[in-house]
Amino acid sequence: MAAAPLSVFLILAVASLLVNTAVSLELHFYRTSCPQAELVVKSIVEKHVSQDPSIPAGLIRLHFHDCFVRGCDASVLIDSVGENVAEKEAPPNLTLRGFEVIDEIKTELEKQCKETVSCADILALATRDGVALSGGSSYALPTGRRDGTVSNISDVHIPGPSFSVADALNAFGTINLGLEDLTTLLGAHAIGFCHCGFFVDRLYNFRGSGQPDPSMDPAILDQLTKKCPRTTVDQNFNISKDPTVFMTPTSNTPFRLDSSFYRGVLQEEAVLQLDQELAFTDLTRKMALDYVNRPNVFRRKFAKAMMKLGNVGVLTGQEGQIRLNCRRVNKPAGE
């Protein structure tokens, strides 16, 4: 039998490489390599939520900010080192919370299954469990993400609270998310807290007018100005001193992921400008009304949007690495 020409071997080698690098996420990725992984994540998240019911809101935001920059690769968890200023130092990320939850989970999993479960999967799984523990739908989450090795402050471009719906939609489009995803994911603002610095301009100097945002409900305006004094406008933003308010100030369920956020939007009681603008465009207003009238539809679509978010720009196969410490990139072998 004649030997195959060299070109055939090259083609087969390239084909093999493409197959190996085109690995997709899958359910229960760790079923043999670390069978207890998802149970460990859930147990530790449950413990933290029992101590602080605002943790799910922090995890959702942490996951979102991670996926929006370089994809869901846990790059937001990396600390600055030397002259490299990491993503977490960017202004939109200074109020992120939940790092300690991820650290604790990683420490435990490294004891059980060394260098097996990625920080990116830990963050995605912890967020999934936080959603369920705050009243949202529990969803089956494919895993197998790998960790990124780059984290740079200059890469951080997150849609801000003063964005218009159109501007936010353009930003979401860069990660292949659409208007329904935008409207649905903003429903996470049903839970947790917000720093006054993110919306104080609406209270005192909306769009440079020297007046409050005329679209804000007067009773909510009065409530928020008592929590967020005018002095906040004039001082340099200091996260350690900046007051916080509930994201849904009129809700009786500030830690429950329900459709109360959309009710507040429709009643012009939203805290953030972007949130309130959902009431002023036809399609987003229609979605908000649907979520208020059919809360189970919101829960189902929120879970779907979270799964879609968790697939953004993932590293798989031999891409990236499995960090031993979520705050640091692994040192090259031999160092």
**Cα(39)–Cα(122) distance, rounded to whole angstroms?**
11
Buried b (16+ CB within 10 A) or exposed e, 2-29: eeeeeeeeeeeeeeeeeeeeebebeeeb
Q: Is 89 known as a binding-site position?
A: no
Q: What is the SS3 assignment for 225? A: helix
Q: Is 258 known as a binding-site position?
A: yes
Q: Is 79 known as a binding-site position?
A: no
Q: Is 200 known as a binding-site position?
A: no
Q: What is the per-residue DSSP string for 128-145?
A: HHHHHHTTS------B--
Of 120, 119, 175, the residue nearest 313 (C-alpha): 175
The amino acid sitting at 310 is G
User: What is residue 113's DSSP assignment?
Assistant: S
Q: Is 201 known as a binding-site position?
A: no
Angle at 281 between CA 158 and CA 64, to 5 degrees: 25
**Cα(162)–Cα(232) distance, rounded to whole angstroms?**
17
Q: Is 75 known as a binding-site position?
A: yes
Q: Is 52 known as a binding-site position?
A: no
Q: Is 38 known as a binding-site position?
A: no
For CA atoms 287, 288, 293, 296, the dihedral sign is positive
> Which are the catalytic amino acids?
65
User: What is residue 224's DSSP assignment?
Assistant: H
Q: Is 71 known as a binding-site position?
A: yes
Place of tokens 């994809």: 71
Which residue numbers belong to the known binding site for Ca(2+)? 66, 69, 71, 73, 75, 87, 242, 253, 258
Which residue numbers belong to the known binding site for heme b? 189
Which residue numbers belong to the known binding site for substrate? 159
Which residue numbers belong to the known binding site? 66, 69, 71, 73, 75, 87, 159, 189, 242, 253, 258
